Amino acid sequence: MAKVTGLEGVVAGETDIGLVDGEKGYLVYRGYWAKELAVSKSYEEVAYLLWNRRLPEAEELAQLKQEMAAARTIPEYLKQMIDLLPPTIPMMLVLQSAVAALGDKDNATWPPTLKQAIRLTSVLPTIIAYRYRKVNNLPEVEPLAELGHAANYLYMLTGSIPEEAHVQALSAYQILCMEHGMNASTFASRVVLSTESDICAAVCGAIGAMKGPLHGGAPSEVISMLEEIGTMDRAEPWIRGVLENRGKIMGFGHRIYKTKDPRAEALMIATEAMIGKDPSFDLAIHVEHTAIRLLEEYKPGRRLFTNVEFYAAAILKALQLDPDIFTPTFTAGRIVGWTSHILEQAESNRIFRPQSVYTGPMPETEAETV
């Protein structure tokens, strides 16, 4: 009998949050194409959609922005705890510890609430920025209530009001990070929640799964490629050199999507809109067009499309974010999807209790009947 591992292809539940169809290249959030939401809506609007099953009216959006701004502040005890963690502790473990510490009596209730989801989503970027500046011996930057979610994150990291082009690019990236079906971290959050544990514990489980390089790995290899290419005139000879030596062009092809990755399509639109506003975007667009042309020349018929990591790399490089916070930034986007699944799990909860196949030895004698 073939070894049973991974649960690949096994249906573990029903959801009306999102659809991932790799064969058709579909990514749908609550009945909307994710790629369209990413380039036409704000982070807050799409968060409202995932949490409430519909897009907000103007007054509802204003109310959500107000609630999120009010929930960004880190409690003083949590700052003290973060300060005590050695600088060598990775950011994802800091996030996991901080979220666990937020699980006080107001956030450890059953069932979980939308207010709790909003709180965790709002405070996660503040935790990342606070820790980042602390370990880099930079002064703390308090959140600004008048800035939107993406803009405030960049402001807290850098201490400067960000350029609108950078805000739009980060917002599109984080919207496309929000939800991606029953992936490992989302499944982990639902398993923990199914025991009637609290939302903070469920998110801690999700962060633990996201930390693994097979799931939340950052697009560092693509960034290294773009940095090595450096300028537009070097793109074609560099790519030809790799292909002629049977090397791999990073950022092309995807395990799930057998056609164009819809997330890459949306980030391409967002990146193309920034042409002329940042040289990193200009280089990325040129490298992509050159790589697709040469891949078809060297590997005809393979149809190797640009994947989300390529444009994520272009955006993160343009934003000049430290590689240490790439996966945390991904996490700060995905938490909306996690909390949406957590709330959905609680609506008709049943504990996950799968079976396993025992492959170990049996005792030599029959068990006695008691």
Please tell me the predicted confidence (pLDDT) of residue 199: 97
The set of residues, in sequence order, having a beta carbon less than 8 Å from that of 354 and lying 6+ positions away, is 7
The set of residues, in sequence order, having a beta carbon less than 8 Å from that of 355 and lying 6+ positions away, is none
Q: Which of 254, 288, 341, 344 is catalytic?
A: 254
How many C-beta atoms surround the C-beta of residue 140 within 10 A?
13
Omega of the bond prior to 86 within 30 degrees of 0, cis? no
Please tell me the predicted confidence (pLDDT) of residue 280: 77
Q: Reply yes or no on whether 309 is catalytic.
A: yes
Give the predicted TM-score (pTM) of the model.
Answer: 0.89
Q: Which of 44, 45, 309, 344 is catalytic?
A: 309
Are the CB atoms for 262 and 35 separated by under 8 Å? yes
What one-character-per-residue DSSP string does 288-345 give? Answer: HHHHHHHHHHHSTT----B-HHHHHHHHHHHTT--GGGHHHHHHHHHHHHHHHHHHHH
Give SS3 for 33. Answer: strand
Q: Exposure string (b/e) for 340-362, b if CB count within 10 Å is 16 or more?
A: bbbbbbbeeeeeeeeeeeeeeee
Render each residue's pLDDT in the chain as its tens digit; 370 residues. 556 667 777 788 899 999 988 778 789 999 999 989 998 999 999 999 999 999 999 999 999 999 999 999 999 999 999 999 999 999 999 999 999 999 987 788 999 999 999 999 999 999 999 999 999 999 999 999 999 999 999 999 999 999 988 899 899 999 999 999 999 999 999 999 999 999 999 999 999 999 987 777 667 778 889 889 999 999 999 999 999 998 888 888 665 656 677 777 788 777 776 667 777 778 888 998 899 899 889 988 777 778 878 888 888 888 888 888 989 999 999 999 999 999 999 999 999 998 888 889 999 887 666 5
Instruction: Report which residue type is found at 344.
Output: E
Report helix angle 220-229 to 232-244, nearest 10.
120
Instruction: Report which residue type is found at 63.
Output: Q
Are the CB atoms for 123 and 72 separated by under 8 Å? yes
